[in-house]
Structure 1
Amino acid sequence: MTKQYDVDLCIIGAGSAGLSMAAGAAQLGRSVVLYEGEKMGGDCLNYGCVPSKALIAAGKHAHALGAGAEFGVKPAKATVNFNTVKAHIQGVINHIAPVDSQERFEGLGCIVIREHARFKDKNTVVSDTTEVRAKRFVIATGSRASAPPIPGLSDTPYLTNEDIFSVKTQPKHLLIIGAGPIGLELGQSFLRLGSKVEIIDIAAPLGRSEPEHADILVKALTEEGLIFHTPAKTKLIRKTDTGVAIDLEDGRTLEGTHLLVAAGRSPSISGLDLDAGGIKHSRAGIETDDCLRTSNPKVFAAGDVAAGKGGLTHAAGFHAGILIKSFYFLPPGLNRIMGKATTDRMPAAIYTQPELASIGMTEAQAKEAGHSVKALHFEFDENDRAIAERSDVGGVKIIATKRGKILGASIVGEGAGDLIQMISVAMTNNVKVMGLVSIIAPYPTRGEAVKRAASSMYKEAFGSSKTQKLAGFMSKFH
């Protein structure tokens, strides 16, 4: 028999956005149905952020053994047990999994249904054994790795982020299609664990980043041993007796034991019967307004599945917070103003070593938007902490208007993903460049570099003849 439910909120997808929505609504006493047809925790816990960062940590430990000569520590070659590495990754997933588990959310009061859901009509969602009517619906089904239309790829065995962490044996020679964040993070990690790694992309790496910072990262990875074929056009991918081969249009052939495809993601909308729900969609995902509302006013989309608004786990969490506020804390009408999920301050980070983090506009984007900008710099080779740790690659770049409004920033170097949060706090609270100058940074820390970059805006004015005359005049009164 089909079970019938009539609830306040029905959520499809138990990833970052769906779980945050479910927890928030349930703790507010709302009745919630949460559907998940696959693994609780979604892509981030099981195939994305969590396992990749665990792999990166393993790679860092292996690399550190051979990187101590400058400190007087005799380098040693790491001996890697790949099965133990995989056990470490699974152990990290298992440690976090209870927070995302069915049991936890049922304990919060949610009705958790472990089946695939689809729309029956504009007001109803069904699965194999259930039928749900709700005041509001949220689609939070995320995205999956997509394969580019390269001849031969569909006939060749390849890995994605969904199975690379459980591959039976460590790739001896890993070929990676895609020079984006996933390709770079996994490429460096497998290189450090002992694999030979080559990355192929039709475009230059990190084209959306500040070019000088992208160059610093690519140079560091190249010096470590990562081989780039970018930009390069792929003519054919084919299976070989020893693994896989990639024929490039320039006549070269690359051969490896394994192939990882890390060339983009597609929204997970298959099987949802969105047309039956009156929900407009495209290959880019579900169409929404600035408040994440779809063409069906009862249905909202959050996270990667919302066309043009996802792509990051923390973006999904941000969407969930916006929707909770809009549903339960803002009066009708006001939520159209204060419930917008648009943002020009979404931080992003690539967790290679060095890290590359960014927020807001690049210098080029700011100029294209018509701003008269100042690019403020400070390099880590002038930062005492970075010098002491002999890790002084990179620096801070802040993009600001001449009146001090911060439009964006980029940081490349050790801990960049943490440092960018200082800029995020400033932009969120409309703090201008002078606010960053005024902070007191503990010495010696890398965070000083943000303050020093901001201070460079006033360097010329500070030592000008006009300022000197002012100082001379004021000194007469003291």
Structure 2
Amino acid sequence: MNILETDVAIIGAGTAGMTAYRAVKSAGRKAILIESGPYGTMCARVGCMPSKLLIAAADAAHAVQHAAPFGVRMDGQTRVDGRQVMDRIKRERDRFVGFVLESINAMPAEEKLRGRACFLSDKLLQVGDNVQVKAASTVVATGSAPFVPDMYKPLGDRLVVNDDVFSWDDLPRRVLVVGTGPLGLELGQALARLGVEVGVLGRGDGLGGISDPVVKASALGAFQAEFDLRLNTEVLEAVRKGDEVEVRFASKEGEETTARYDYVLMAAGRPPVLEGLQLQNTSAKLDDKGMPRMDVSTLQVEGTPIFMAGDVNGVRPLQHEAADDGRVAGANAARFPDVQARKGRAPLSIVFTDPQIAHAGAFFRTLPKNAVVGKVDFENQGRSRIMLRNRGKLRVYAEQGSGRFLGAEMVGPAAEHIGHLLAWAVQAELTVGQMLEMPFYHPVIEEGLRTALRDASKQL
């Protein structure tokens, strides 16, 4: 048995793991980065970057197909070349992955270890069959994996997850997307805009993480006007028929539908990857799902020298949060046992649909009873109407008495940019009055934000 010793072992070479590695090295400590799968972060290989490439192609097709209201008419027939779409996605995806691989290749060979790791104790890891790693502390950054219910597994290669979509050589004709979270909505709308016959089903009434009922209703109306989207719908049966899948599903009211698709795309969540880590061999206290108790502010697993960073900790499974987690977990693992709590950042999430969805700060569902809600409807907002992007609503939340801005939920144009402004305002603990003292140019979509803030200010 080959035994290696290090200050910090890091399991997983994704965004969180690589950031943790850099934090450990910056602290002047020794590190070993352990990876069992392909190098290259999930974001670069199968996540945020290739999905945005698909969305960009879809938006281009949509713009061409909907230019007539501007007086711009196409004489010839608009055609989406699925092979060219997928070819560009793969080329650009590989370019992004290449940048990650450059970082990996620059690491000293003795600080990289290939193989599947599991805990033998708090400070001892087994990697593969022939290597053990003794580490004073460990960062677990194993990420998440698509959830696939057992009923779908007999579908074989007719069942795909987001990881598989970006390996297609051509676009399929018909796809059923199961899941109405951010991933399901982004991929479903993009495929629909590229000419794929798409159905998107949600077992519950969740939609892109929105908790504000007014915002959710606006988003639902916008999406249902464009593609087949059904909430509160349960799949009763999915059976493979040759190279097709016959799916039977029912609404909450009991109305059944049967349809055939080329693929079922499972987008019903990505649980943390804990299987195989054998955390039961450590001092960690595990719940019934095998998740250890962890201090969110330090990312330390209670009573152990183990830290959990990124999607695996289940706190905020977002790329920018994974990078922040890696920095915190790596720094604390390097200085263990003198761990430090991090200063919290304002929550921020964005869904790259059209219209976009954004959330910053407090959710509607967590507001105190006396909170003030300001609103704007983008239907008649000047710049949005000029660009024919006048769909959606923004609702801002403020604390009665102090006037402090608490957060917002939004579906509408430029939500990715407005969301950032609102998250910064939450983190800076600004009041609605202070936000209204900021400059607003004319004519811009941000004037819609000012309308919502003014509405809140009147109520304050």
Q: TM-score, normalised by structure 1?
A: 0.87
Q: Is the 8 A contact 1:21 1:321 kept in 2?
A: yes
Corresponding position: 1:292 with 2:299: yes
* One-letter amino acid of the structure 1 residue matched with residue 117 of structure 2: A
Q: Note closer, same or farther for the CA distance 1:54–1:265 as it changes in structure 2 (3 Å cut).
A: same
Q: Which residue of 1 aligns with 2:125?
A: 125
1:317-328 superposed matches below 5 A: 317-324=323-330, 326=332
Q: 2:396 pairs with 391, 395, 398, which one?
A: 398
1:238-387 superposed matches below 5 A: 238-249=239-250, 250-281=255-286, 282-283=288-289, 285-290=291-296, 291-306=298-313, 308-324=314-330, 326=332, 332=338, 335=340, 338-339=341-342, 345-367=346-368, 371-387=369-385
* One-letter amino acid of the structure 1 residue matched with residue 391 of structure 2: V
SS of equivalent to 2:65: coil
Corresponding position: 1:181 with 2:186: no
Q: Which residue of 1 aligns with 2:98?
A: 98
Deviates more, 1:49-58 or 1:245-254: 245-254
Q: Note closer, same or farther for the CA distance 1:361–1:147 as it changes in structure 2 (3 Å cut).
A: same
Q: Note closer, same or farther for the CA distance 1:437–1:9 as it changes in structure 2 (3 Å cut).
A: same
Gapped runs of 5+ residues in structure 2? none
Deviation of the 1:38 alpha carbon: 0.9
Deviation of the 1:41 alpha carbon: 2.9
Identity %, equivalent residues: 26
* Alpha-carbon distance in structure 1 between the residues aligned to 2:279 and 2:337: 28
Deviation of the 1:208 alpha carbon: 4.1
Q: Note closer, same or farther for the CA distance 1:298–1:329 as it changes in structure 2 (3 Å cut).
A: closer
Q: Which residue of 2 aligns with 1:88?
A: 88
* Alpha-carbon distance in structure 1 between the residues aligned to 2:54 and 2:22: 29
Q: Is the 8 A contact 2:12 2:143 kept in 1?
A: yes
Deviation of the 1:289 alpha carbon: 1.9
Provide, for residues 49-81 of structure 1, a one-character-per-residue CA deviation record: whole Å limited to 9, x for no partner: 111111111111111111111211114643222
Count of residues paired in the alignment: 447
Q: Which residue of 2 aligns with 1:467?
A: none
Q: Note closer, same or farther for the CA distance 1:286–1:245 as it changes in structure 2 (3 Å cut).
A: farther
Q: Is the 8 A contact 1:204 1:230 kept in 2?
A: yes
SS of equivalent to 1:10: strand
Q: Which residue of 2 aligns with 1:212?
A: 214
Q: Which residue of 2 aligns with 1:51?
A: 50
Q: Is the 8 A contact 2:86 2:171 kept in 1?
A: no
Q: Which has the higher contact order (CA 8 A, sep 6+)?
A: 2
Q: Which residue of 2 aligns with 1:195?
A: 196
Q: Note closer, same or farther for the CA distance 1:216–1:460 as it changes in structure 2 (3 Å cut).
A: closer
Q: Is the 8 A contact 1:267 1:284 kept in 2?
A: no
Q: Is the 8 A contact 2:19 2:330 kept in 1?
A: no
Deviation of the 1:365 alpha carbon: 2.5
* Alpha-carbon distance in structure 1 between the residues aligned to 2:294 and 2:349: 22
Q: Is the 8 A contact 1:292 1:340 kept in 2?
A: no
Q: Is the 8 A contact 2:283 2:304 kept in 1?
A: no
* One-letter amino acid of the structure 2 residue matched with residue 97 of structure 1: V
* Alpha-carbon distance in structure 2 between the residues aligned to 1:130 and 1:399: 54
* Alpha-carbon distance in structure 2 between the residues aligned to 1:416 and 1:457: 19
Higher-Rg structure is 1
SS of equivalent to 1:441: coil
Q: Note closer, same or farther for the CA distance 1:363–1:168 as it changes in structure 2 (3 Å cut).
A: same
Q: TM-score, normalised by structure 2?
A: 0.90
* One-letter amino acid of the structure 2 residue matched with residue 311 of structure 1: P
Q: Is the 8 A contact 2:328 2:342 kept in 1?
A: yes
Deviation of the 1:216 alpha carbon: 1.9
* Alpha-carbon distance in structure 1 between the residues aligned to 2:36 and 2:440: 48
Deviation of the 1:331 alpha carbon: 9.3
Q: Note closer, same or farther for the CA distance 1:120–1:112 as it changes in structure 2 (3 Å cut).
A: same
Q: Is the 8 A contact 2:27 2:331 kept in 1?
A: no
* One-letter amino acid of the structure 1 residue matched with residue 200 of structure 2: I
* Alpha-carbon distance in structure 2 between the residues aligned to 1:434 and 1:217: 28
Deviation of the 1:23 alpha carbon: 2.1
| Cα RMSD for the two superposed structures | 2.4
SS of equivalent to 2:407: strand
